[in-house]
Amino acid sequence: MYRNTVIAIASCAGMASFALAGSDTLLSDGNSTASFDTNSGQVSWIVDGVEQLFLQQFYFRRASDTSEIRLDSNNMTLDGIFASDTNPFTDTNNDALAQLYSDGNGLEIETLFTLRGGTNASGNSDLAEQITIRNNSASTMSLSFFQFVDFDLGADWGDDFGQIVGGNTAQQSDDDFFVSETVVTPSPTFFQMDNAITLANLFADGNIDNLNGNASYSGDAAWAFQWDITLAAGEQFIISKDKSVVPTPGSIMILGAAGLIANRRRR
C-alpha cells in the first residue's frame, strides 16, 4: 500500500478498423492482455494469467514548466482514443490502442500501443509502442519527454535485477521471467535504472529533474528514459520502441501448471 500511494502522487496507420474506447481500455491478443487508463497510464500486462507490470507512465516538461507533468487526461486535453483489432483474421479482440493529447498551445502527443501475445503457456508476449510529439505552433518548441516503467515480473517485486545496455535497452529479470525494452529510434538523451519508489518520487517532487545515468539496480527495480527535444514550427518527433516478456529457462513448467497469479499485487 505504501508504494502504491507514492506512485499515485507521482504521478492509424495500418489499422483495419477503429472503435471508440473508454478511459479504461483492455487489449487482448493470444495469451496476453494489457490495460490502460487515461488518468494513470498502463496499469497491467498479464501473460498466461501472470501479472508482469505494475505501472508505465509518460511525462513531459516544456521550457516554461517548473516540474515534470504526467501525460494524462487530467493535465492534457484528450482529443481522441481508439482501440482496434489489427489481426481480424486471427481473432476479434482489440489489440491496438491510439491516444491523442494536446495542451491548447500547439503541443500534441500521440501514443500508439500494439499487443502481440504468444501461444498459450508459452510465457511470451510483445508490446510495440510509438510516441509522436508534434509542434503545431508557429514557434520553435523545446521540451523533455520521459518514460517511467515499473515491472513486477511474476507479480513479485522485491528480487529483480535491472540494467541499461547501450544507452537504449532496458533489461529486467527475476527467477522466472525476463523483460527487455529496446528504443529502436531515437536513442534517449539520458536514462536511469533505480529503485521504483526513488524514480516515482523523482517525477513527483515538483522540481525540474533529469535522469542520472545509473545503469543497474537490484531489488524493486524500475527504469526511465529521457529525450530532450527541440522542434521547429510544424515539426514532429517520433519515438519507436518495443518490449518483450519471456520466461527464463525452467519456468515453462510453472506456467504450464496454471496461470495462477492473475491479480495485481498491492503494496
Q: Provide mean pLDDT across the span 113-141.
A: 98
Question: What number is the average pLDDT over the span 132-152?
Answer: 98
What's residue 138's pLDDT?
98
Calpha distance 251→173 (Å, rounded): 12
What dihedral do alpha carbons 24, 179, 54, 148 form, nearest 10°? -90
Q: Does residue 7 register a pLDDT over 90? A: no
Domain boundaries, the chain: 2-257
Whole-angstrom distance, CA of residue 59 vs CA of residue 41: 10
- Angle, CA of 177, 195 and 27, to the nearest 5°: 50
pTM score, whole prediction = 0.87
**What was the pLDDT predicted at 9?**
28
pLDDT greater than 60 at residue 253: no
Q: Nearest to residue 12, comparing CAs of 132, 105, 117?
A: 132
Instruction: Reply yes or no on whether the pLDDT at 8 is more than 90.
Output: no
- Choosing among 2.70.98.40, 3.40.50.170, 1.20.120.1200, 3.40.50.970, the CATH entry for 2-257 is 2.70.98.40
pLDDT at residue 27, rounded to an integer: 98
Q: Which of the residue ranges 13-22, 146-155, 224-233 would you say has the lowest mean pLDDT?
A: 13-22
Tell me: pLDDT of 119 over 80. Answer: yes
20-48 pLDDT, tens digit per residue, is: 344 689 999 999 999 999 999 999 999 99
Residue 6: Cβ within 10 Å count: 15
What pLDDT score was predicted for residue 156? 86
DSSP H or E run through 184: strand 177-185
Q: What's the pLDDT score for residue 23?
A: 63
| pLDDT value of position 158 | 85
Max Cα–Cα distance, the chain, nearest Å: 59
For the chain, the straight-line distance linking the first and the last C-alpha, in angstroms and rounded, comes to: 4
Of these ranges, 5-14, 152-161, 221-230, 255-264, the one predicted with the greatest mean pLDDT is 221-230
Residue 149: Cβ-neighbour burial (10 angstroms; 0-12, 13-18, 19+): buried
pLDDT tens string 144-203:
999 999 999 998 888 899 999 999 999 999 989 999 999 999 999 999 999 999 999 999
- Check pLDDT > 80 for residue 265: no
Work out the mean pLDDT of the chain and round it to a whole number. 88
Q: What is the pLDDT of residue 105?
A: 96
